[in-house]
């Protein structure tokens, strides 16, 4: 509808602060805003969650269905992600058509999860060539105050991590209206968490708010996981027209390496409910 | 209200016929919006977010006499057991429209020519009565957004389960199949004049039963109004509503 | 009634009964009753009844001071975005010096911010002026957005609250009626402290003894005000500004 305007003096001030390692809300460049998690927001879902980071808020839920497998993977379940970037979430989204942001968000999250091997697709096979489980991950954005990708990513992981399989009646070949105690088959060690960095001036920032996002001209989303106790990258997506120099890449990888040690255990805790 | 011949003598969840499910409300749940509110009855939860008044585009469709109200209602895919495909459906478009008509009857947008007030209603969890929960949330969100309104609006779903009139129908009651089955009557009433701003019906009913249903609905709406009013007043006491 | 004994009303609620009452802002007459049209606080002065909103967007009035940003430059002026429904128009004739039509962008360009005064409110938009003293282009600093209905609290009775903040943080502060506040100081710490204090005021705007609480909060940030607010009852009753 309208472009979000950041006044010139504001942009200059944000950059002035960034050069001193600070942001307008007092945070350091690598700090996240306050995180709020509410689980099980829908009793009708295999799992559901509401996640808020700062004022950016997202709902995510997992539902399961049964379908014929794809011909090239007859013994694997399927996975589909949808992301509604509702005009509810921001003045900048239009009613009706899902804009490119909506499509990109769904695809980035989908890829991160799919490529990491987090979901054990083989264990989702019911009858090879005939019946497999279909995993639906649905994301609804309520408010966009920056860094929607990471908030949606976290919500997605938490939803997947707490999902329970519905009861499957083998004799009648149908899904009962009830959940079992069996969790969605996951390879926990393969979990990948999405972290988006923005370049403003020559500094790299984490968890940008709406204003910072508007003035940054380059962002890089990285899906990070763990392999043998070390950091492993499973997906990447660069956005916006700015470029990443070699020095930028070095700074990015250093920041990610630093933050990974701090953030990854926390995320694992949220996803597998070890802490809240 | 249960007639001796009715097959529905006791409610599935033990409630009295004129009893509303447990209600949870909160105003200002999305502080970045102009107005917002949550309304929940039993397991049905609705979130309403208001953005506006703001300039309406495209310009050639603007109304130079007064502002427009636009309602967008949707259910989250995981709000019900049988997943709903994301995006608008004919049902959600119809509900958006009747909700828009209901709310338009109380708002006064004469001071905002060429502008639009957008009301977004989303349902994270559903157990029947979603459109009325949405309206109740929307009315609070509009007031919270400072939109001029002649009066408030409150809504409830009344049901005739076989021959029994009940208020705040749950999913089990909605699916009741014995005897005359379930007749679903969502109704919205204005707070001062007690006029009907939304009325839909799906089932079988006689004129006398309908009168009874409307009466029961209006009584229940008085209860709802008290709760909406309190939630709004509570939100301004020491609340930040930034 | 809220904590301070002020009457809060919702739309459709009867405020008073009686033909001697005169309906003012945000109320209407229904027979003998005067009814609220908005969610807000009742104010009755000499039979004049009005409702002051506690939340919602900013509606410009003539004489208001507002802070905005240039979003378009036309052949005869600038369009200013200030958070209202429409944008404001600043005609080229309403700036302090003569500008010829090729110089518009040089004088005031896209993205630059201004303090202007509202001199006319029409259905198609708002007309503003920058000619008077104290109005003009903003250089440096930062702009924060707050609930415009809380602006009177930030300003305080005869400006006492904003003076208190200025003396503690040594920052320049300009408050727009539209809920935009411009802050400019000599250091990041002072500017951030100012921002925090203003946000504290907005969050606690409805409570009693706000001034004392603000003074305490300023102290907790490690700052000190050189001004003592003598009247203990300030901060609660002024709704002007």
Please give the class, per CATH, of domain A8-271: alpha beta
What's the pLDDT tens digit per position in B154-171? 999 999 999 999 999 999
Confidence grade of residue A1 (pLDDT, cut at 50, 70, 90) = very low
At residue C238, the pLDDT reads: 39
Give the relative orientation of helices A148-161 and A246-271 as an angle to the nearest 10 degrees: 30
Which residues numbered 173-192 in C keep a CB inside 8 Å of some CB on A?
A: 188, 192
Going from the first residue of chain B to its last (242 residues), give the mean pLDDT of each consecutive group of 10, the final group possibly shorter: 77 95 96 93 97 84 89 97 94 97 96 91 97 98 97 97 96 94 96 96 95 97 98 76 37
All structural domains of chain C: 8-53 (2.40.50.100), 65-137 (2.40.50.140), 142-220 (3.30.1370.10)
Q: A1 and chain C: CB distance < 8 Å anywhere?
A: no
Instruction: Name chain A's partners: 3 or more CB pairs within 8 A.
Output: B, C
Pairing status of strand B115-125 against strand B68-75: parallel
Q: Choosing among B43, B81, B97, B171, which should be mutated to test the A contact, i.e. which has the most A CBs within 10 A?
A: B81
Q: Answer whether B93's CB lies under 8 Å from B75's CB.
A: no
A–B CB contacts, 8 A cutoff, strictly below: 88
Instruction: Name chain C's partners: 3 or more CB pairs within 8 A.
Output: A, B
Which of the 8 DSSP states describes residue A124? G
In angstroms, the CA C172 to CA C184 distance is 5
At residue C205, the pLDDT reads: 84
Q: Considering only alpha carbons, which residue of chain C is nearest residue B242? A: C147
At residue C240, the pLDDT reads: 36
At residue A103, the pLDDT reads: 77
CA contacts within 13 A on the Cβ side of C22: 5
Q: Provide the token pair at A208.
A: 């940008």
In angstroms, the CA B43 to CA C98 distance is 66
How close A183 comes to chain C (CA, Å)? Answer: 43
Which residues numbered 83-102 in B keep a CB inside 8 Å of some CB on C?
A: none
Q: Considering only alpha carbons, which residue of chain A is nearest residue C71? A: A5
Q: Provide the token pair at B235.
A: 């939100």
B–C CB contacts, 8 A cutoff, strictly below: 105
| Of residues A20 and B240, more confidently modeled | A20
Does the pLDDT value for residue A95 go beyond 80?
no
Which residue in B34, B106, B113 is closest to C57 by CB distance?
B34
Which residues numbered 21-60 in B keep a CB inside 8 Å of some CB on C?
A: 28, 34-35, 52-55
Give the start-to-end residue ranges of the domains of chain A.
8-271
Q: Answer whether C35's CB lies under 8 Å from C15's CB.
A: yes
As a whole number, mean pLDDT of residues A174-202 equals 93
Does the pLDDT value for residue A93 go beyond 90?
no
Closest by CA position to A208, among listed A93, A53, A87, A75: A53
What's the pLDDT tens digit per position in A140-165? 999 999 999 999 999 999 999 999 99
Which residue in A59, A62, A98 is closest to B124 by CB distance?
A59
Which residues numbered 163-192 in B keep a CB inside 8 Å of some CB on C?
A: 190-192
- A185 φψ region: left (φ > 0), alpha (ψ -120 to 50), beta (else): beta
Which of the 8 DSSP states describes residue A186? B
Q: Choosing among C35, C38, C39, which should be mutated to test the B contact, i.e. which has the most B CBs within 10 A?
A: C39
Closest by CA position to B44, among listed B102, B142, B105, B131: B131
In angstroms, the CA A118 to CA A154 distance is 14
> What is chain B's alpha carbon radius of gyration, rounded to the nearest angstrom?
18
Does the pLDDT value for residue C231 go beyond 50?
no
At residue C3, the pLDDT reads: 55
Q: Considering only alpha carbons, which residue of chain C is nearest residue B139? A: C11
At residue B241, the pLDDT reads: 37
- Look at C11 and B106 and tell me if their CB atoms are within 8 Å: yes
Q: Which residues of C touch B (CB under 8 A)?
A: 2-3, 8, 10-13, 26, 28, 30, 35, 37-40, 53-57, 59, 85-86, 123-124, 146-147, 149, 199, 202-204, 206-207
Q: Which helix (H) or strand (E) holds C142?
A: strand C142-145
CA-to-CA separations, C145 to A32, A38, A265, C57, in angstroms, rounded: 21, 28, 36, 12
Tokens 């701090």 map to which residue? A262
How close C166 comes to chain A (CA, Å)? Answer: 19
Give the least confident one: A122-136, B50-64, C44-58, C189-203. Answer: B50-64
At residue C233, the pLDDT reads: 45
pTM, rounded to two decimals: 0.92
Give the start-to-end residue ranges of the domains of chain B.
23-233
Give the least confident one: A79-83, A242-246, A257-261, C227-231. Answer: C227-231
In angstroms, the CA A226 to CA A234 distance is 10
At residue C236, the pLDDT reads: 43
Phi then psi for residue A116, to 5 deg, are: -75, -20
Which residue in B57, B79, B124 is closest to A1 by CB distance?
B57
What's the pLDDT tens digit per position in C108-157? 999 999 999 999 988 778 999 999 999 999 999 999 999 999 999 999 99
Give the max Cα distance, chain B.
60
Which residue in C2, C11, C206 is closest to B152 by CB distance?
C11
DSSP per-residue letters across chain B: ---TT-S--S-TT---TTPPPPEEEEE-SSTTSSEEEEEEETTEEEEEEEEEEEE-SSGGG--SSS-EEEEEEEE-TTSSSSPPPSS--HHHHHHHHHHHHHHHTTB--TT-TTEEEEEEEEEEE-SS-HHHHHHHHHHHHHHHTT--BSS-EEEEEEEEETTEEEES--HHHHT--STT-EEEEEEEEETTT--EEEE--BS---HHHHHHHHHHHHHHHHHHHHHHHHHHHHHTSS----
Does the pLDDT value for residue C47 go beyond 90?
yes
Find all residues with CB under 8 Å of B53, minimum gap 6, and list them.
B67, B109, B112, B115, B116, B117, B147, C57, C85
Q: How far apart are the first and last CA of chain B?
A: 46
Q: Considering only alpha carbons, which residue of chain A is nearest residue B42? A: A43
As a whole number, mean pLDDT of residues A73-101 equals 79
Fold of B23-233: Ribosomal Protein S5; domain 2 (3.30.230)
How close B81 comes to chain A (CA, Å)? Answer: 5
- Look at B238 and C59 and tell me if their CB atoms are within 8 Å: no
How close C55 comes to chain B (CA, Å)? Answer: 6
At residue C129, the pLDDT reads: 97
Q: C139 and chain A: CB distance < 8 Å anywhere?
A: yes
At residue B233, the pLDDT reads: 95
Which residue in C35, C57, C146 is closest to B242 by CB distance?
C146
């Amino acid at each position: 509808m309208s472009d979000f305007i950041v006044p010139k003096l504001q942009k200059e001030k944000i950059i002035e602060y960034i050069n001193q390692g600070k942001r307008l809300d007092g945070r350091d460049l690598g700090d996240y805003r306050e995180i709020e998690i509410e689980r099980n927001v829908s009793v009708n879902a295999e799992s559901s969650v509401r996640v808020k980071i700062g004022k950016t808020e997202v709902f995510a839920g997992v539902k399961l269905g049964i379908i014929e497998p794809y011909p090239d993977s007859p013994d694997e379940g399927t996975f589909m992600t949808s992301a509604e970037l509702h005009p509810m979430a921001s003045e900048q989204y239009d009613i009706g058509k899902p804009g490119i942001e909506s499509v990109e968000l769904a695809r980035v999250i989908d890829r991160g999860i799919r490529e990491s091997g987090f979901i054990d697709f083989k264990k989702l096979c019911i009858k090879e060539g005939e019946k497999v489980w279909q995993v639906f991950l649905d994301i609804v954005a309520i408010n966009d105050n920056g860094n929607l990708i990471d908030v949606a990513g976290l919500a997605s992981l938490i939803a997947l991590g707490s999902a329970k399989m519905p009861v499957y009646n083998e004799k009648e070949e149908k899904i009962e209206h009830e959940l079992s105690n069996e969790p969605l088959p996951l390879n926990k060690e393969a979990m990948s968490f999405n972290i988006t960095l923005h370049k403003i001036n020559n500094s790299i920032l984490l968890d940008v708010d709406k204003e910072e996002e508007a003035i940054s001209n380059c962002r890089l989303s990285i899906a990070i996981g763990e392999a043998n106790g070390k950091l492993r990258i499973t997906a990447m997506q660069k956005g916006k027209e700015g470029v990443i120099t070699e020095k930028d890449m070095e700074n990015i990888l250093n920041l990610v390496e630093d933050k990974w040690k701090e953030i990854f255990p926390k995320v694992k805790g949220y996803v597998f409910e070890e802490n809240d | 209200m249960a007639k001796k011949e009715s097959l529905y003598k006791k409610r599935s969840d033990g409630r009295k016929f004129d009893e509303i499910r447990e209600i949870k409300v909160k105003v200002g749940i999305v502080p970045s919006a102009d107005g917002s509110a949550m309304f929940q009855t039993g397991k049905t939860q609705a979130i309403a977010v208001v953005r506006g008044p703001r300039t309406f585009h495209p310009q050639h469709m603007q109304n130079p006499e007064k502002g427009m109200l636009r309602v967008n209602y949707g259910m989250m895919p995981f709000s019900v057991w049988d997943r709903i495909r994301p995006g608008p459906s004919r049902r959600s478009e119809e509900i958006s429209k009747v909700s828009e008509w209901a709310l338009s009857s109380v708002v006064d947008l004469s001071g905002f020519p060429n502008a639009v007030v957008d009301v977004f209603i989303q349902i994270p969890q559903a157990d029947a009565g979603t459109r009325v929960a949405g309206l109740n949330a929307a009315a609070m969100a509009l007031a919270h957004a400072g939109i001029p309104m002649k009066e408030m609006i409150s809504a409830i779903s009344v049901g005739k389960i076989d021959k029994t009139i009940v208020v705040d129908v749950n999913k089990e009651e909605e699916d009741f199949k014995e005897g005359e089955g379930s007749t679903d009557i969502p109704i919205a009433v204005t707070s001062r004049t007690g006029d009907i701003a939304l009325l839909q019906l799906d089932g079988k009913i006689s004129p006398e039963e309908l009168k009874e249903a409307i009466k029961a609905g209006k009584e229940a709406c008085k209860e709802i109004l008290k709760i909406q009013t309190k939630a709004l007043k509570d939100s301004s006491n020491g609340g930040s509503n930034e | 009634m809220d904590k301070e004994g002020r009457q809060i009303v919702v739309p459709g609620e009867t405020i008073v009964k009686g033909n001697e009452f005169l309906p003012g802002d945000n109320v209407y007459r229904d027979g003998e009753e005067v009814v609220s049209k908005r969610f807000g606080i009742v104010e009755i002065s000499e039979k004049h009844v009005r409702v002051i909103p506690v939340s919602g967007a900013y509606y410009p009035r003539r004489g208001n001071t507002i802070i905005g940003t240039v979003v378009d430059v036309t052949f005869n002026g600038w369009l200013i975005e200030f958070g209202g429904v429409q944008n404001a128009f600043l005609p080229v004739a309403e700036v302090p010096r003569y500008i010829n039509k090729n110089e518009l962008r040089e004088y005031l360009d896209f993205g630059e911010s201004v303090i202007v005064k509202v001199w006319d409110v029409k259905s198609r938009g708002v007309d503003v002026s920058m000619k008077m003293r104290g109005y003009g282009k903003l250089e440096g600093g930062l702009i924060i957005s707050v609930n415009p209905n809380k602006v009177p609290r930030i300003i305080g009775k005869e400006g006492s609250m904003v003076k208190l903040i200025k003396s503690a943080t040594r920052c320049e502060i300009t408050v727009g009626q539209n809920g935009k506040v411009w802050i400019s100081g000599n250091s990041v710490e002072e500017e951030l402290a100012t921002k925090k204090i203003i946000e504290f005021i907005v969050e606690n705007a409805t409570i009693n003894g706000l001034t004392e609480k603000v003074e305490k909060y300023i102290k907790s940030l490690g700052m000190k005000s050189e001004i003592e607010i003598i009247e203990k009852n300030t901060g609660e009753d002024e709704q002007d500004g």
